[in-house]
Chains A and B, each alone.
Chain A
């Protein structure tokens, strides 16, 4: 050791990146081992994290499905234009032809007042009533299938259709859509608020878990500081602990979500088919799994950084 000590020293010191990677791998494995060392409390923590992540995640997923359903209903939305009395069939046909030139309109269907009366009297029991009419009380109408993305556009289209002189009344069959859209908006808001609350509680849960890991190794940390361990060297294993807790919690949450979806799949699909919807509830998407695992890991890592910063620095030498 006494020979050429100083000239050899530089040569033996590995590059910073290799050092870093080497330390990271070692600390990751060590942290995992420490978590496995107390499997019961570790899995309790993971379950709590998973449950917390599951709440906003389920809401978001539920809303995604509602939004898909909304789109489905929107495709079925109809606008009915009731024409003013005295509008001739030729005039009405002109109007419907001009409507077809609009991009916002997929198809039109002109129903003359005779046709309307005919279909009305066809309905069981009404033929006698219809026969008693002196004149045809029913207006001619144009049924429009719009080609639109959202409710706002639908309203806009309805307003512009109201400007047409031959149009007496515009009827938009959108009550369902509006209800659904409101529910969807509410869900998104709830999911966001819940997400924020969950984020804070996860930081708290994971931060506290990391803190207890730090407290358990207080003496060790003191000694490492005495021989020149940097904050990041000391903190790194604890960051991995946070990361692993978050990651495992996220994975468990996506597993639970898949199970929940699986158990709701059949009854929900039945409801959708009642509404004449071709929509079917999708099973867990890989994107959801990745999102949950990634958010869990990120939150865990960040919470651990905060916790390690506070509690490692508080150990003084």
Chain B
């Protein structure tokens, strides 16, 4: 569960990236965050992952009030969240399989158990054949899908995705959305930042619309019931 209550974020530069944003994403709900470039989509996701702190208001994620989270509580908090980064954030000196295995490695899985899960995750994003390759040998779209596999491999209760289809063609974009839907169906909450309006329209999910840091639209409130 994700809850924003009158959340504002002002960067050190003085720029307001978010202003008075309130919404809730329930367990098992999938929602898009959209808006033009610079509207505050990435900032919103960063607040959920606790890589940034809000300047005012309250962010509560999985029952944790992020205004009061302690530094040493952050790692275990993040392990319950799978994040797909816009710039992938892959380790260039590790194979695709090892990259995807990272969250499992942190959680102390044996190589055998980890490999089984890694293969399943890579299979979902259609990259099983590239498990031994290194990120540099992959296309942008493939790297993005490695990031998706890594985000889902530890079965998080929340999945965040920042422009996850930015490098993908329409067909692969739809496949990726189907992967996300599978997680939604088993109770995972998903928040997907995207400016791909045609994709969002095809998916018919709740959509939060940001403009200049303000929440100017929330289409899917009806679906909550």
Quick one: CB contact mask for A4-32 with B, threshold 8 Å, 1 for yes? 01100100111010111011000000000
CB pair A223–B89 under 8 Å, yes or no, is yes
Q: Does A51 contact B (CB under 8 A)?
A: no
Query: Chain B contact residues: over half helix, strand or loop, or mixed?
Result: helix
CA distance A215 to B222 in the complex (A): 50
What is the interface residue range for chain B against chain A?
20 to 34
Q: Give min CB distance, A108 to chain B, whole Å.
A: 74
Knowing A223-B90, A226-B83, A317-B51, say if A2 contacts B106 (CB, 8 Å). no
Asked if A314 is at the interface (CB within 8 A of a chain B CB), the reply is no
Task: Provide 18 A-B residue pairs closer than 8 Å at the C-beta atoms, listed in order of the A residue.
Answer: A1-B121, A1-B155, A2-B182, A2-B186, A5-B155, A5-B186, A6-B155, A6-B187, A12-B109, A16-B108, A22-B110, A23-B105, A220-B91, A222-B89, A223-B91, A226-B85, A228-B79, A229-B106
The answer to whether B72 and A228 touch across the interface, beta carbons within 8 angstroms, is no
- Chain A residue with minimal CB distance to B152? A1
Please report B residues at the A interface, Cβ cutoff 8 Å: 49, 51, 72, 75-79, 81, 83, 85, 89-91, 93, 102-103, 105-110, 113, 117, 120-121, 124, 150, 155, 182, 185-187
Please, how many angstroms separate the alpha-carbon atoms of A226 and B78 in the complex? 7
Q: Write out the residue numbers on chain A whose beta carbons fall within 8 Å of the beta carbon of B120.
A: 1
In the complex formed, the residue of A with least CB distance to B123 is A1
Minimum C-beta distance from B16 to chain A (A)? 22
Q: How far is the CA of A20 from the CA of B108 in the complex (A)?
A: 7
B155 to nearest A CB, angstroms? Answer: 5
- A34 to chain B: closest CB distance in Å? 11
Residues of chain B contacted by A23 (CB below 8 angstroms): 105, 108
A225 at the interface (CB under 8 A from B): yes
0/1 interface trace, chain A 204-236, chain B, CB 8 Å (1 if under): 000000000000000010111111111101000
A227 touches B108 (CB 8 A): no
Q: Indicate which residue in B89, B108, B109, B124 contacts A226 across the interface (CB closer than 8 Å).
A: B89
A96 to B111, CA, bound (A): 83
CB-CB nearest in chain B for A227: B103
A184 to chain B, nearest CB (A): 50
Contacts A227-B102, A228-B103 known; A14 to B110 CB distance under 8 Å? Answer: yes
Contacts of B81 in A (CB 8 A): 228
Residues on the B chain within 8 Å of A317, using CB: 51
Q: Are A22 and B185 in contact (CB under 8 A)?
A: no
In Å, the complex CA distance between A101 and B146 comes to: 91
Cβ contact within 8 Å between A228 and B108: no
Q: A230: which of B75, B150, B155, B186 is its contact (CB, 8 Å)?
A: B75
In-complex Cβ contact of B185 among A2, A6, A19, A227 (8 A): A2
B107, chain A: closest CB distance, angstroms? 7
Alpha-carbon distance A22/B182, docked complex (angstroms) = 32
**B147 → A minimal CB distance (Å):** 10
The distance in angstroms between the C-alpha atoms of A51 and B102, with both chains bound, is: 39
Bound Cα distance from A12 to B75, whole angstroms: 20
Given contacts A14-B109, A22-B108, A228-B77, 11 further A-B contacts (CB under 8 A): A1-B120, A2-B185, A5-B155, A12-B109, A14-B113, A18-B108, A223-B89, A228-B76, A228-B81, A230-B76, A230-B106
